[in-house]
Structure 1
Amino acid sequence: MSTHSRHIQLMDTTLRDGEQTQGVAFTPMEKVSIAKALLQFLRVDRIEVASARVSEGEKEAVSLINQWAQQEGFAERVEVLGFVDHTRSVDWIKSTGGRVINLLAKGSEKHCREQLGKTLEQHSIDVLQTIGYAHEQGLKINVYLEDWSNGYKDSRDYVYGLMERLQPAPISHFMLPDTLGVMSPDEVFASFSDMCQRYPALQFDFHPHNDYGLATANVMAAVRAGVSAVHCTVNCLGERAGNASIAEVAVVLRDKMSMELSVDESHLVRISEMVENFSGKRVAANAPIVGADVFTQTAGIHADGDQKGGLYKTKLGPERFSRIRSYALGKMSGKASLKKNLEQLELDLSEEDQKKVLARIVSIGDSKQTITTDDLPFIIADVLESKSYQHIKLLACSINSGLDLPSTVSIRVDVKGEKHQTTGAGSGGFDAFIDAIGKVLQHYDYTLPTLADYEIRIPKGGHTSALTECVITWDCGNELRKTRGVHVNQVFAGILATIKLINIQLHEMANSLEA
């Protein structure tokens, strides 16, 4: 058992194994962008970027990545999966400027016999032939033992026999995958302990899959057993249930096992968002480390404990990942939850007013509506009959849309007591409204921020008459802000969310002028 602190390499295979996720295909420039972010900002030790001989587009991407890596000193940290085909994979990798081949050998007797129709001896000869050629061409060589987890379980003699034949070869890492994600932590620890003790001079990588939801736990077991490197992907991308999450693995190895890592945690969320955008695969709001909600306290008792002494804070703090803690507002909110949000907005209310606002929050929460910090000023204004955030009021709005025709809108608004009426046109009702409201706001030296995201939701199982919730994320330069609108018409829900943002920013502009 190897429990002492040591450096564990993290090899990210988002661009190779992660791209086997159903429906995911990165463009060459997306691959280059992700590769740069992984090596330059997240600082992973190695990246696996492609499989050899897949397509011309893949070849273009790998060539661009290798060209950049050569210039930045990362050349030997970029790896490509190759096959036991003597010269073809090696030549493909060489033609892209690659320096490392991850050779895919058969790690189970069943795969060797039934898929290749070969004996251990025959397959070993083929593998060594490809290794010999790769070595002659100056490539660094790692070897995958495909389906090793099942191969070790079904026929250890085959695995040992393959290892005995390969270990004299110039192989840097023997990479042992749980290809189908079938192992438990106990099985991982026992099998890796055996491999590490039987071959103490060799470097072993663990390549886990998450079919049973055990990938991160299995990583811990493999590290305890003595592996020197672990393979991960961003956002758990990968075939079927995906691979191990690099965010989870990095944090667990540091916090729970005191291992040394190269990864810069402050960039985990940024890389997660990049891959989310390029892959089209949304990250669950409750995903550890990178999920939108994981640093949000909902229960009032938790906010109270944090207010009085940080009682519900742990080593897993949001600051590590360039994030902030928030306190949700809803039916389980208490005085402390409200107070935390008021502090964030730099608002001060009397005890009596806080009780009134809290009662309204709980009432709204009973109807299952999401309440954000940006909604709070409007709840306060409604409860206290305050005009502070009523800088702009939408008095009337009429939208006309037709099939294959541009949409038009006519609006009447009150801005700081002045009434305006104007029209706008656009590719849809909301776009037309943005055109019209922009004409009004130019008189007040105000320009709407650009949209970063636009989400429309209705309750699960909702009817056609159900309320529509529109959540808009705005790019406000140094921060992202979210506002919400609720209406039976989804276009008007977006309009109400826009009016909320304008009111907030006009209020801030007024405060800054007073200061």
Structure 2
Amino acid sequence: MSKSISIFDTTLRDGTQGEGISLSADDKVKIAKKLNALGVHYIEGGIPGSNSKDIEFFKRVQDLGFTSKVVAFGSTRRKGGIADQDANLQRILESGVSAATLVGKSWDFHVHTALQTTLEENLAMIHDSIAFLKRKGLEVMFDAEHFFDGFKNNPEYAVAVMSTARNAGADWLVMCDTNGGSLPHEVASIVTSLTNQIPGAPLGVHTHNDCELAVANTLSAVQAGVRQVQGTMNGYGERCGNANLCSIIPNLQLKLDYECIGDDNLGTLTNTARYISEIANVNMPVNQPYVGNAAFAHKGGIHVSAILRDSRTYEHIEPEKVGNKQRVLVSELAGQSNIVSKAQDMGLNFDPASEQSKHIIGKIKDLEHEGYQFEGADASLELLLREANGELKELFTFESFKMLVEKTAGQPVVSEAFVKVNVAGESIYTAAEGNGPVNALDNALRKALVQYFPTLKEMHLADYKVRVLDDKDATAAKVRVLIESKNFENSWNTVGVSSNVIEASWEALVDSMRYALLGQISPEQVHQSAARQGLVNH
């Protein structure tokens, strides 16, 4: 039995049917390049001729020299028609691909209800369409839509559909769980039955996640004899999504010892998944298996203590095998092991038995009790640890800020911030306007500091989130603000908490600047540099 599995990615076709996902031709090309680099065997690009984006995509990928096969999608000829004259089949040929997916009905209920034709005509539509594309030299995947439902309802007809496709020359017979309602034991049984009735047929599987079993059903199908798996990156797709290749591939390769994309390519899986989520503008669930940000994150002190001795105690694989990494979170559940691990990551020397460690653990737990959350604010946490370790140089200190927000009838809201900070013993007072109070504060603080620290020109706020911590207090409730900042090289997150959203924002904003200035020159050097430039008392 071959241990090789062909990976068929349909992110660019079936994945785009997911709610909130829309990809331009440029987006599709970028994702296709990533998928090709990942090493998938087939990339289904879309439906040629259905829209201008797909037409442009198929034109552009022809000259990219992919090792992956680019596949066009279409349906069998119309009922009562002729394959040679079918517009849909002609568009597949015109796309320039060497492989095509044809979808056809395998559930008798669908033949009568959706196609409104006879069972015999449906078989003729399947045979004629596949034979036509085979005569033109294409590799053909036949996707038997609703195959598992069809087999449960009328197994003889479902098998007849597959036999017809096989006799017409189909290279792959793909069983689709289109409604996503099948269970793993049903999938295994039906695949086994088809394998026995059409011996030697190259089988594939295409599952949907409506019962959250798409990955499990795919694995069951493979163990029963399937050798091509279809799915999407991050499980994108209509309704509840398609089978998630980001879980299927490592499960097959690392757990079941099948060859899919090779170990080196598997190490790029996390990067590929996150890149595609950025292009699709869809946030990845942090707890997504294998590639999620929290897939190998540890929070409880007992867990962290154990993984520091041997990561196998609480990790089922080495994260690096899929390109991910281990993370230790710090929270009210943290123990000394969490702090030591984070300190080590930052290059700090913390003695687990020292009073210093105990003090900082207590402080973090107190802050978490007040509403701070350091799991998503590593930069604020690092500032705390460096301060506790005596390694934090305060390059500037806060003195005061004031806000002016003015709304005039018929005019947009105007926000202006006035900020006073002390740098190298000198008070700096600045004012700036902004698109809202937080932006005004950011502009005013940056204006005060950038003359001393020019690298701040390179950073900007990338994201801003506010969460009400106790809604029973209504507008007087305490809020937590998380700010993400970026420069040309890195991104970092800071946190602030207060019953006043402006104060919480200011706290997170100041931390973002302090973190950006880590490793900068000392206050004394700042003063000397400012004096040379004539900035003192400016």
> What TM-score results when the alignment is normalised by the length of structure 2?
0.87
Paired residue secondary structure (1:408): strand
Aligned to 2:202: 203
Whole-angstrom CA distance in 1 between matches of 2:236 and 2:470: 26
Give the Å deviation of 1:95.
2.8
Aligned to 2:7: 10
1:474 pairs, out of 465, 470, 485, with 485
- Contact 1:80 1:100 survives alignment (8 Å): no
- Contact 1:433 1:495 survives alignment (8 Å): yes
Establish whether residue 457 from structure 1 lines up as the match of residue 431 from structure 2: no
Give the Å deviation of 1:5.
6.4
Aligned to 1:51: 47
Paired residue secondary structure (1:54): coil
Please list, as runs of the form range in 1=range in 2, the aligned pairs for 1:151-190 lying within 5 A after superposition.
Answer: 151-190=150-189
Please list, as runs of the form range in 1=range in 2, the aligned pairs for 1:136-285 lying within 5 A after superposition.
Answer: 136-262=135-261, 264-285=265-286
Give the Å deviation of 1:368.
4.9
- Contact 2:31 2:276 survives alignment (8 Å): yes
Give the Å deviation of 1:476.
4.1
Aligned to 2:343: 342
- Contact 1:84 1:103 survives alignment (8 Å): no
Give the Å deviation of 1:489.
4.3
Aligned to 2:98: 99
Matching residue's letter, 1:279: A
Of all paired residues, the percent bearing the same amino acid is: 24
- Contact 2:187 2:217 survives alignment (8 Å): yes
1:22 pairs, out of 19, 22, 32, with 19
Cα-to-partner distance string for 1:455-491 (whole Å, 9 max, x where unaligned): 3333475633333323233334444322222234445
Give the Å deviation of 1:453.
3.7
1:373 pairs, out of 357, 362, 378, with 378
For the structure 1 residues 489 and 138, does the alpha-carbon distance in structure 2 shift closer, same or farther, using more than 3 Å as the test?
A: farther
2:396 pairs, out of 392, 395, 407, with 392
Moved over 6 A (4+): 381-384
- Contact 1:360 1:379 survives alignment (8 Å): no
Please list, as runs of the form range in 1=range in 2, the aligned pairs for 1:429-508 lying within 5 A after superposition.
Answer: 429-448=437-456, 449-459=459-469, 461=471, 463-508=474-519
For the structure 1 residues 236 and 363, does the alpha-carbon distance in structure 2 shift closer, same or farther, using more than 3 Å as the test?
A: same
Give the Å deviation of 1:382.
7.2
Whole-angstrom CA distance in 2 between matches of 1:422 and 1:383: 31
Cα-to-partner distance string for 1:429-460 (whole Å, 9 max, x where unaligned): 33333332332223223333234443333347
For the structure 1 residues 441 and 323, does the alpha-carbon distance in structure 2 shift closer, same or farther, using more than 3 Å as the test?
A: farther
Whole-angstrom CA distance in 2 between matches of 1:15 and 1:153: 30
Whole-angstrom CA distance in 2 between matches of 1:267 and 1:454: 29
Give the unaligned 5+ runs of structure 1: none
Cα-to-partner distance string for 1:14-67 (whole Å, 9 max, x where unaligned): 111111112322122111111111112x22111112134432233223333x33
- Contact 2:401 2:420 survives alignment (8 Å): yes
Give the Å deviation of 1:504.
2.6
- Contact 2:142 2:165 survives alignment (8 Å): no
- Contact 1:210 1:244 survives alignment (8 Å): yes
Paired residue secondary structure (2:485): strand
Aligned to 1:80: 73
Aligned to 2:58: 62
Cα-to-partner distance string for 1:244-293 (whole Å, 9 max, x where unaligned): 11111111111221111116223322332233234343222211122222
Paired residue secondary structure (1:502): helix
Whole-angstrom CA distance in 1 between matches of 2:155 and 2:8: 26
Paired residue secondary structure (1:7): coil
Whole-angstrom CA distance in 2 between matches of 1:159 and 1:316: 40
- Contact 1:458 1:466 survives alignment (8 Å): yes
Matching residue's letter, 2:380: D
- Contact 1:341 1:373 survives alignment (8 Å): no
Aligned to 1:411: 419
Give the unaligned 5+ runs of structure 2: 526-538
The number of residues matched between the two structures is: 505
- Contact 1:51 1:82 survives alignment (8 Å): no
Matching residue's letter, 1:422: T
Whole-angstrom CA distance in 2 between matches of 1:12 and 1:461: 44
Whole-angstrom CA distance in 2 between matches of 1:251 and 1:285: 18
Whole-angstrom CA distance in 2 between matches of 1:320 and 1:492: 43
- Contact 2:467 2:481 survives alignment (8 Å): yes
Give the Å deviation of 1:330.
1.4
Paired residue secondary structure (1:252): helix
- Contact 2:235 2:242 survives alignment (8 Å): yes
Whole-angstrom CA distance in 1 between matches of 2:414 and 2:276: 34
Whole-angstrom CA distance in 2 between matches of 1:147 and 1:113: 14
Whole-angstrom CA distance in 1 between matches of 2:371 and 2:505: 19
- Contact 1:181 1:211 survives alignment (8 Å): yes
For the structure 1 residues 267 and 469, does the alpha-carbon distance in structure 2 shift closer, same or farther, using more than 3 Å as the test?
A: farther
Whole-angstrom CA distance in 1 between matches of 2:76 and 2:494: 51
Paired residue secondary structure (1:431): helix
Structure 1 range deviating more: 346-355 or 299-308: 346-355
For the structure 1 residues 165 and 479, does the alpha-carbon distance in structure 2 shift closer, same or farther, using more than 3 Å as the test?
A: same
Establish whether residue 132 from structure 1 lines up as the match of residue 136 from structure 2: no
Aligned to 2:290: 289
- Contact 1:49 1:80 survives alignment (8 Å): yes
Structure 1 range deviating more: 431-440 or 451-460: 451-460
Whole-angstrom CA distance in 2 between matches of 1:93 and 1:399: 62
